[in-house]
């Protein structure tokens, strides 16, 4: 369909090419208390039909604003101050409200983070999907038929039943499929995906990304993908633009940009990621000095100049023009030729981490059962686990696997079932922290994902630290101040920072403060629950370095919970994999990443979108994590396992046994067999999925679910 182009008189007609989306020198400001604060400073890029384009950059760089500007869904205080946006040749910036509505209906769609919120909670899924077709003018029965088709297209198994459900009755993955189905209803020219898989489990993320890739082939829609996870961008996008402070600083073929960055910012961003399997003992992560300029700041000619190691006088005076590097590759930098000067930090001398010490924390047969409405829900089942002196134990698994319950039980927030052992330095800990002596409380501390909610908002950083020092160490008077200064110095918090309140600190500084607080009493164990997942990668790098340094200095043991396997690989000495409240595999970090693995671990590892683009096995688990109230018989993973063996797996639960030195696994398949199968899977292109007989077994159990 051709669209009329209505331009203001005198405006130049856009070149007659076929870009599905073309953004031309777009500038945008947010009006805050009457003052315009620029957020986009001349963004230019285009996406061809069928092409997928990724925008990357740290929070505040303007990537989401760009995406929302593309469909003109902007905050009430946003003003487009310059430039134009063409979708399929029509200028979005000058469209009337009515035309805009028509345009969104037929030509542009959007999928975003948190699919649960994107669906009306009080209306069943069916009417919501049908509406997306009915609005196009289809009659009710036609719209209904199309809605069913659309749900099938996004691989929803039983669309009729799903349409009868309310959104909250469905899993996050299902919800996102439904939102995607609605977005595709009009067969749009442009599909904007804003962090579509953030907050979903890795296994679910992998299948949603598979879906996006397969739909891309079918629809010929241009895709604009926003994601902070560079692996997601790499696995989906053809081309990528790197944004910094409201500008695209580098652009090009996704693989080329990630493999050979041509802008100091891109290079720094990629180096701050824990990738290529590097570990804390080998090298500190690169960090980017300074911080992102605040929204609306007046910036010198090159926006990155204040943090750039290559900057010279010219960078402050002349805005670097885009340098064409061939193959659609551009970089806005005066000093591309000097990029090789930026070498990576040398590998650390010294051996792999220190000798394994004695046991700091020992869990034996630890269980936790919740009681809900007359049902008992076993959240932890017979956990045997040791955390040694000065080591990091990484805990991984999908949401609902019991990771957080385990952390809470260790901290004494949840009281474990009677009979289990929870020993700190060989003495039994009381089940509840309120029953523990101060000495034990001091010894086990916590760092949360969201430091904001863990710090008293009304207090200064200094007061927060002083209170923890007083509470945990028994120090008094001047000794407290001395300890506070010491902690601040260790975490690189300045005296000025100490006089600020948490909300005046940036996310990274807040997390430093939270870590300083946890270290106030010289703890033996620090439980860190997703300590960096709310942070940008360059900030994450700094936090991971700090955690690693503190560990070396203080011989503290960490229990690290993270869904980011790059982070786990970097920081953890050993890794435990949980599923449905059980430990499925535990072993030295390198051993676990090398394999052979428990099939569940294998699936988790294969699901991670890799920023290096290295090929690997493709395993897509069927079904969803079962309800812990009604765990499957035999091996609890058998209902989703791609290596399911009928007659054994659903009958007997395998024990957690040592398959090689320092490597335990809970699987019926012999380790050598797993080694062979997994090497085979890595070589083949075939996608491994849960066999139908396992899924049938899953359905049979689900029907007996009492919940």
Partner 1 sequence: MVRYLLRRLLLGLITLWLLATIVFAITNILPTDVGRTILGPFAPPETVAALNEKLGTNRPLPVRYVESMIGLVTLNFGDSFVSGSPVLPQVLGAVGRSAKLAGLALLITIPLSIAAGLYAARRRDRLADRAIVLAGVTLSSIPEFVTGTILVVVVGVQLDLLPVLATAPEKADLVTQIRYLLLPAVAMAIVYFGYIARMTRAGAIEVLQSDYIRTATMKGLTTSQTMRRHVLRNALVPTVAVIAVQIGYLFGGIIAVEKIFNYNGMGATMLYAAQRKDLPMLTAGVIVIGLVYMLATLAADLIIAWMNPRIRLETER
Q: How far apart are CA 603 and CA 641, in angstroms?
A: 9
Smallest gap, in angstroms, from Cβ of residue 39 to partner 1? 19
Give DSSP secondary structure letters for 398-414: -TTSSHHHHHHHHHTSS
Does 122 interact with partner 1 (rule: CB under 8 A)? yes
Alpha carbon 241 to chain centroid distance?
Answer: 20
* Residue closer to partner 1, measured from CB, 70 or 669: 70
**Does 575 sit near partner 1 (CB under 8 A)?**
no
CB of 95 to partner 1, least distance (A): 13
Under the binding rule (CB under 8 A), the answer on residue 71 touching partner 1 is yes
| Nearest-approach distance from CB 63 to partner 1, in angstroms | 17
For 403, phi then psi, to 5°, come to -60, -50
Q: Is the distance from CB of 85 to CB of 91 less than 8 angstroms?
A: yes
* Contact (CB, 8 A) for 516 and 462: no
DSSP bridge partners of 248: 243
Per the listing, tokens 């918090």 go with 493
Strand partners, 47: 21
By CB under 8 A, name the one of 5, 11, 25, 120 that touches partner 1: 120
Decide: is 191 part of the binding site for partner 1 (CB under 8 A). no
Report, in Å, the least distance between residue 226 CB and partner 1.
Answer: 15
What number of chain residues touch partner 1 (CB under 8 A)?
A: 33
Token representation of residue 703: 């029907």
Q: Does 222 bind partner 1 (CB under 8 A)?
A: no
Q: Is the peptide bond before 376 cis (omega within 30 degrees of 0)?
A: no
Is 114 among the residues that bind partner 1 (CB under 8 A)?
A: yes
Would you count residue 629 as binding partner 1 (CB under 8 A)?
no
Count CB atoms within 10 A of the CB of residue 561: 23
- Whole-angstrom distance, CA of residue 225 vs CA of residue 515: 34
Q: Find the shortest distance in angstroms from Cβ 212 to partner 1.
A: 17
Nearer to partner 1, 131 or 522 (CB): 131
Q: Can you tell me the distance from the alpha carbon of 286 to that of 281, in angstroms, rounded to the nearest whole number?
A: 14
Q: Which of 20, 21, 61, 108 binds partner 1 (CB under 8 A)?
A: 108
Choice between 8 and 373, CB closer to partner 1? 373
Smallest separation (angstroms) from partner 1 to the CB of 132? 5
Which residues in the 150-179 window bind partner 1 by CB under 8 A? 166, 168, 179
Which residue's CB is nearer to partner 1, number 167 or number 634? 167
Name which of 75 and 479 has its Cβ closer to partner 1: 75
- Give which of 548, 285, 593, 511 is closest to 391, Cα–Cα: 548
Kindly indicate which of the ranges 52-60, 69-77, 85-93, 537-545 contains the residues binding partner 1, using the contact rule CB under 8 A. 69-77
Nearer to partner 1, 198 or 364 (CB): 198
Which of 495, 493, 498, 491 minimizes the C-alpha distance to 462? 498
Nearest approach in angstroms of CB 6 to partner 1 is 18
CB of 507 to partner 1, least distance (A): 23
43 belongs to the binding site for partner 1 (CB under 8 A):
no
CA distance 527 to 703: 37
The only residue of 29, 52, 90, 186 in contact with partner 1, by rule CB under 8 A: 186
**The one among 18, 101, 348, 594 contacting partner 1 by CB under 8 A:** 101
Binding status of residue 87 toward partner 1 by CB under 8 A: no
Among 106, 177, 329, 334, binds partner 1 (CB under 8 A): 106
Measure the N-to-C terminal CA separation of the chain; round to a whole number of Å: 51
Q: Give the Å distances, CA to CA, from 83 to 10, 18, 40, 80.
A: 15, 19, 10, 8
**By the 8 A CB rule, do 205 and 609 touch?**
yes
Does position 105 bind partner 1 by CB under 8 A? yes
Of 543, 536, 558, residue with least CA distance to 284: 543
Using rule CB under 8 A, residue 110 touches partner 1:
yes
Torsion of CA 297, 302, 303, 306, to 10 degrees: -90
Region from 129-137, 272-280, 516-524, 634-642 binding partner 1, contact rule CB under 8 A: 129-137
| Residue 438 contacts partner 1 per CB under 8 A | no
| Run of H or E including 252 | strand 247-253
Shortest distance, position 93 Cβ to partner 1, whole Å: 17
The CA-based diameter of the chain, rounded to the nearest angstrom, is 83
216 C-beta neighbours (distance < 10 Å), count: 19
Sign of CA dihedral 537, 540, 545, 551: negative
Stretch that binds partner 1, among 13-21, 54-62, 105-113, 384-392 (CB under 8 A): 105-113
Cβ(562)–Cβ(539) under 8 Å? no
Question: What is the chain's length?
Answer: 707
488 binds partner 1 (CB under 8 A): no
Is 104 an interacting residue with respect to partner 1 (CB under 8 A)?
Answer: yes
The residue (of 169 and 434) whose beta carbon lies closer to partner 1 is: 169
Binding segment for partner 1 among 70-78, 334-342, 440-448, 570-578 (CB under 8 A)? 70-78
What minimum distance in Å lies between the beta carbon of 120 and partner 1?
4
Q: Is the dihedral of CA 126, 127, 128, 129 positive or negative?
A: positive
Quick check: 238 and 51 in contact, CB under 8 A? yes
109 is an interface residue for partner 1 by CB under 8 A: yes
User: Which CB atom, from 40 or from 179, has the smaller least distance to partner 1?
Assistant: 179
Using CB under 8 A, pick the residue from 132, 363, 535, 681 that binds partner 1. 132
Query: Which of 8, 9, 373, 661 touches partner 1 by CB under 8 A?
Result: 373
Give CA–CA dist 539/544, Å, rounded.
9
Nearer to partner 1, 134 or 237 (CB): 134
- Nearest-10 crossing angle of helices 478-490, 507-518: 130
Tell me how far, at minimum, the Cβ of 73 lies from partner 1, in Å.
6
Angle, CA 418 vertex, CA 413 and CA 424 arms, to 5°: 60
Taking CB under 8 A as the criterion, the residue among 5, 7, 11, 102 binding partner 1 is 102
User: Rounded distance, CA 88 to CA 459, Å?
Assistant: 53
Residues of the shown chain interacting with partner 1 in the complex, contacts defined by CB under 8 A: 71, 73, 76, 101-102, 104-106, 108-110, 112, 114, 117-123, 128, 131-132, 135-136, 166, 168, 179, 182-183, 185-186, 373
């Amino acid at each position: 369909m051709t669209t009329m182009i209505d331009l203001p008189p005198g405006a130049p007609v856009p070149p007659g090419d076929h870009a599905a989306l073309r953004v031309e020198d777009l500038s945008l400001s947010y009006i805050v208390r009457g003052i315009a604060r620029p957020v986009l400073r001349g963004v230019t890029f285009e996406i061809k039909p069928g092409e997928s384009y990724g925008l990357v950059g740290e929070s505040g760089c303007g990537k989401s604003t760009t995406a929302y500007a593309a469909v003109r869904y902007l905050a009430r205080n946003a003003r487009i101050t310059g430039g134009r946006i063409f979708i399929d040749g029509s200028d979005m910036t000058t469209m009337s409200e009515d035309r805009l509505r028509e345009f969104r209906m037929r030509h542009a769609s959007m999928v975003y983070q948190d699919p649960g919120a994107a669906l009306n909670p009080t209306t069943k899924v069916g009417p919501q999907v049908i509406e997306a077709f009915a609005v196009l003018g289809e009659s009710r029965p036609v719209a209904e038929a199309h809605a069913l088709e659309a749900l099938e297209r996004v691989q929803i198994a039983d669309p009729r039943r799903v349409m009868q459900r309310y959104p909250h009755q469905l899993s996050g993955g299902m919800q996102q499929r439904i939102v995607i189905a609605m977005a595709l209803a009009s067969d749009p020219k442009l599909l904007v995906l804003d962090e579509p898989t953030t907050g979903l489990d890795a296994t679910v993320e992998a299948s949603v990304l598979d879906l996006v890739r397969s739909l891309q082939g079918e629809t010929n829609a241009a895709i604009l993908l926003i994601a902070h996870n560079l692996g997601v961008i790499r696995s989906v996008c053809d081309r990528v633009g790197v944004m910094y402070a409201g500008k695209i600083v580098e652009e090009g073929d996704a693989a080329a940009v990630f493999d050979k960055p041509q802008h100091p910012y891109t290079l720094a961003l990629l180096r701050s990621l824990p990738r290529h399997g590097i570990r804390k003992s080998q090298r500190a992560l690169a960090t980017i000095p300074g911080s992102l300029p605040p929204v609306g700041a007046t910036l010198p000619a090159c926006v990155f100049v204040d943090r750039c190691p290559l900057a010279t006088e010219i960078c402050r005076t002349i805005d670097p023009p885009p340098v064409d590097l061939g193959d659609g590759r551009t970089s806005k930098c005066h000093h591309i030729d000097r990029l090789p000067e930026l070498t990576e930090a040398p590998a650390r001398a010294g051996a792999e981490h220190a000798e394994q010490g004695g046991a700091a924390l020992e869990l034996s047969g630890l269980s936790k059962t919740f009681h809900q409405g007359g049902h008992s829900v076993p959240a932890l089942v017979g956990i045997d686990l040791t955390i040694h002196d000065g080591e990091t134990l990484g805990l991984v698994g999908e949401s609902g696997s019991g990771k957080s319950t385990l952390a809470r039980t260790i901290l004494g927030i949840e009281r474990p079932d009677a009979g289990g052992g929870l020993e700190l330095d060989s003495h039994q800990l009381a089940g509840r922290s309120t029953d523990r002596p101060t000495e034990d409380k001091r010894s086990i501390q916590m760092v949360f994902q969201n430091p904001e909610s863990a710090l008293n908002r009304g207090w200064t950083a200094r007061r927060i630290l002083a209170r923890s020092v007083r509470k945990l160490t028994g120090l008094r008077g001047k000794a407290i101040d001395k300890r506070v200064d010491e902690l601040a110095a260790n975490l690189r918090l300045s005296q000025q920072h100490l006089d600020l309140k948490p909300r005046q600190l940036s996310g990274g500084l807040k997390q430093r403060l939270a870590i300083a607080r946890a270290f106030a009493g010289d703890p033996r164990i620090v439980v860190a629950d997703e300590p960096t997942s709310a942070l940008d990668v360059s900030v994450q790098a700094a936090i991971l370095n700090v955690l690693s340094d503190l560990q070396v200095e203080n011989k503290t043991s960490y229990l690290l919970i993270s869904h980011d396997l790059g982070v786990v690989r970097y920081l953890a000495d050993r890794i435990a994999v949980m599923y449905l409240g059980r430990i499925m595999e535990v072993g030295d970090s390198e051993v676990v990443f090398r394999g052979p693995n428990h099939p569940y671990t294998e699936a988790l590892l294969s699901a991670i979108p890799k920023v290096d683009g290295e090929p690997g096995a493709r395993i897509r688990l069927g079904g969803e994590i079962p309800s812990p109230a009604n765990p499957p018989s035999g091996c609890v993973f058998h209902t989703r396992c791609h290596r399911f063996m009928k007659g054994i797996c659903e009958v007997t639960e395998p024990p957690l046994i040592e398959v090689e030195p320092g490597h335990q696994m809970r699987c019926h398949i012999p380790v050598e067999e797993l080694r062979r199968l997994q090497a085979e899977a890595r070589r083949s292109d075939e996608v491994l999925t849960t066999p139908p007989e396992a899924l049938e077994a899953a359905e049979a159990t689900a029907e007996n679910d009492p919940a």
